[in-house]
Amino acid sequence: MIGPITILGVDPALTCTGYGLLRADGDRYEALDFGAIAPPAQAPIAERLLRIHEALSDVIRDARPDEVAVEDFIVGHVRAAVAVGEARAVALLAAAEAGLPAVLYKPSEVKQFVTSYGRGGKDQVALMVQALLNLEEPPEPADAADALAVALCHALKRSAIGYQQSVVSSARRL
């Protein structure tokens, strides 16, 4: 049995990094907080990265999550991949500075765990996050919904791994 855990999910991007705090206790999930970090678009890249780092560090300091789950980027447009990679690195750095374990998830893996379909659209992900977290409305902005989906993916994967480990342990006792 896996005890309660607080997970910070991060959907990194230079323009708007989403974050979502999730409390998972068994098969119960609760959104504690979510939002987006949107540095000024005209700011130099180094300044945008600094603002993302400071904001995520503040969230980590205030919320004290147990683990961090970060969405990885898909290789596509090289320029977009580099920008997302930079924001992803800042999220991983904030977690490491706080001594927190951080896990990366591919977008298709997040969608698979949350919607049961690895190619679900943003609207479908937001609606499933709303349903799974019993929210009145889908989380906004979309980056925050995606970050909550990353946290949910991590919680569901931890739960599945814990379940598999308990089955193996039970089988060994037979």
| Catalytic site positions | 11, 71, 143
Classify 162 in phi/psi space as left (phi over 0), alpha (psi -120 to 50) or beta: alpha
Cis peptide before 141 (omega within 30 of 0): yes
Look at the block and give the residue holding tokens 């995606």. Answer: 146
Say how far apart CA 149 and CA 36 lie, in whole Å.
Answer: 14
Dihedrals φ, ψ of 22, to 5°?
A: -130, 135
What backbone torsions phi and psi does residue 37 show, to the nearest 5 degrees?
-110, 115
In three-state secondary structure terms, 62 is: helix
Q: What angle (nearest 5°) sits at the alpha carbon of residue 88, between those of residues 85 and 94?
A: 145
CB atoms within 10 A of CB 44: 10
